[in-house]
Chain A
Amino acid sequence: MENMSYSQAMQRLEEIMRTVQNGGIDVDKLSAMLKEASSLVEFCRAKLYKVDEDVKALLQDFES
């Protein structure tokens, strides 16, 4: 997931959501899929709200 872009993560989330909504998933596999969805949501939230220190540092380097 580290190398995933925000839009890729969103796409995967939507895919999981559709699968769940269509009932097209084995209950046995539900838990694993939910775990994936939950980390995807966390990943997207971090992009929105968490200041990425790497990006910040890069930009500061650039500025100096």
Chain B
Amino acid sequence: MNSLEKPFSLYSLNSLVSRAVSEALPLRYWVTGELSEVREAANGHCYIELVERDEATNEIIAKARGAIWSRIYTLLRPYFLEQTGRPFSQGLKVLLQVSVNFHELYGYTLDVCDIDPSYTVGDMARKRLLVIKRLTDEGVIDLNKELPFPLLPQRIAVISSSSAAGYGDFCDQLMNNRYGFAFYTRLFPSPMQGGGVEQGIIAALEMIASDIDMWDVVVIIRGGGAVSDLSCFDTYDLANNCAQFPLPVITGIGHQRDESVLDLVAHTSVKTPTAVAELLIHSMLGQAARLADMRQSMSTGVRTLLDNERRRLQAACQKLPSSVAMYMQEQRHRLTLYEKYIDAASPEHVLALGYSITRINGKAVRSLDGVAVGDTIVTSVSGGEITSTVTVKNDE
């Protein structure tokens, strides 16, 4: 080292870097990155770490620390939550407006001045669409919807957080339904927000599956009306498990904007636990109405049937006298015909026509057999008898 050159103190060198940085990068810049760390300090400032990953390998290829000062963060935090439906937290892709600083003590940092939540919304939507596309390509997206809904959805396996008021309300509503329908519920507890949702629900589904015959439907509900992070219901594994579950899954996890992917694959999706209970009660009501209809139709049917029979009987009674008269006349007519026929066939009539009857010892002679010369024969003719003796017998 040249002895004339005095070494820099670290501070003065850092000061030079700091000045160089602020001269080279004097503006505010929009930068995209993934929040790899978000730490809210007690004083209201928020410290973040921003990274960029290689798209192919997912390796981190750039990293920077940053700060959002409390006067900005108090505005930015609720705005971001409102716009994206998610808290400003680790793992999100964000678009930030920053000024670039080099601090003598802390080194390279980004001061965040603004955020564009629509970028995060877009990224979340893109990821969501990818999950939906995969489920569609694999042919599972509609599997649960294709299951027949039970006629009586009475035995209900409920997946919810045990602490949530939603579950209690749901059970109250079912058990005290004003029609008096019988329902049976059991809670399979799972976290309903944060990191454990996916594993929690999948584990609960597995428990239900181990006694599948005990249940008619699965209900996944989440109480609480506040806007909160629903992206945990958008994951592929959760949706895949639900879609392929052998019982119909009904969701009531709330959704402000888009339905979650879980809602999308569920057999039926409504907004709240209350709406799920209503749906179940309504199904029962449908059957009760069907039964009432059936009883009504049955009694109408029977009445009609008996009325018809009675009418038939009445008609028969009315027709009877004339039918009898007609019958009698017919019979009389037939009788007259018979009389005429009989008259025509009577011996008197035959004798009157010129025929005669010959008898030997009272027996009619029908042939030469039994007739001998010398026999006395009696011949009946119209008006009397002739007695003769056979003198000749000729064969023809």
Q: A25-B305, A30-B302 are in contact. Are A6 and B151 (CB under 8 A)?
A: yes
Q: Interface residue tally of chain B, by bracket?
A: 20 to 34
Q: B127 near A: Cβ within 8 Å?
A: no
The residue that A41 contacts in the complex, of B182, B291, B306, with Cβ under 8 A, is B291
> Which residues on A sit within 8 Å (CB–CB) of B211?
62
> Which residues on A sit within 8 Å (CB–CB) of B184?
51, 55-56, 59
> Which residues on A sit within 8 Å (CB–CB) of B182?
47-52
The answer for the CA separation of A47 and B154 in the assembled complex, in Å, is 9
Q: A32 near B: Cβ within 8 Å?
A: no
> Which residues on A sit within 8 Å (CB–CB) of B351?
none
Q: B376 near A: Cβ within 8 Å?
A: no
> Which residues on A sit within 8 Å (CB–CB) of B305?
20, 23, 25, 27, 30
A19 CB, min distance to chain B CBs, angstroms = 9
> Which residues on B sit within 8 Å (CB–CB) of A20?
298, 301-302, 305
The answer for the CA separation of A63 and B297 in the assembled complex, in Å, is 43
Task: Indicate if the CB atoms of A10 and B290 lie closer than 8 Å.
Answer: yes
Task: Indicate if the CB atoms of B306 and A27 lie closer than 8 Å.
Answer: yes
Q: A17-B297, A50-B182 are in contact. Are A34 and B302 (CB under 8 A)?
A: yes
Task: Indicate if the CB atoms of A13 and B155 lie closer than 8 Å.
Answer: no
Q: B321 near A: Cβ within 8 Å?
A: no
> Which residues on A sit within 8 Å (CB–CB) of B179?
49
- Give A18's nearest chain B residue, CB to CB: B301
* Residue in B181, B294, B298 whose Cβ sees the most chain A Cβ within 10 Å: B298
> Which residues on B sit within 8 Å (CB–CB) of A55?
155, 184
The answer for the CA separation of A43 and B53 in the assembled complex, in Å, is 64
1/0 per residue B276-306: CB within 8 Å of A? 0000000010011011001101100110111
Task: Indicate if the CB atoms of B302 and A58 lie closer than 8 Å.
Answer: no
The answer for the CA separation of A30 and B152 in the assembled complex, in Å, is 30
Tell me the total A-B contact number using a CB cutoff of 8 A.
Answer: 72
The residue that B301 contacts in the complex, of A6, A7, A21, A48, with Cβ under 8 A, is A21
> Which residues on B sit within 8 Å (CB–CB) of A62?
186, 211, 214
Q: A16-B298, A62-B214 are in contact. Are A45 and B186 (CB under 8 A)?
A: no
The answer for the CA separation of A59 and B284 in the assembled complex, in Å, is 20
Q: A56-B184, A59-B186 are in contact. Are A23 and B308 (CB under 8 A)?
A: yes
> Which residues on A sit within 8 Å (CB–CB) of B214?
58-59, 62
Task: Indicate if the CB atoms of B298 and A48 lie closer than 8 Å.
Answer: no
- Give A63's nearest chain B residue, CB to CB: B186
Q: A21-B301, A59-B184, A59-B214 are in contact. Are A41 and B309 (CB under 8 A)?
A: no
Q: A27-B309, A56-B184, A62-B211 are in contact. Are A47 and B155 (CB under 8 A)?
A: no
1/0 per residue B116-127: CB within 8 Å of A? 000000000000
User: CB within 8 Å of B: which of A1-46?
Assistant: 6-7, 10, 13-14, 16-17, 20-21, 23, 25, 27, 30, 34, 37, 41, 44-45
- Give A52's nearest chain B residue, CB to CB: B182
> Which residues on B sit within 8 Å (CB–CB) of A13?
294, 298
B371 CB, min distance to chain A CBs, angstroms = 69
- Nearest 5 pairs between A and B by C-beta? A20-B301, A51-B182, A21-B301, A49-B180, A44-B291
| Chain B interface residues toward A at CB < 8 A | 151-152, 154-155, 179-182, 184, 186, 211, 214, 284, 287-288, 290-291, 294-295, 297-298, 301-302, 304-306, 308-309
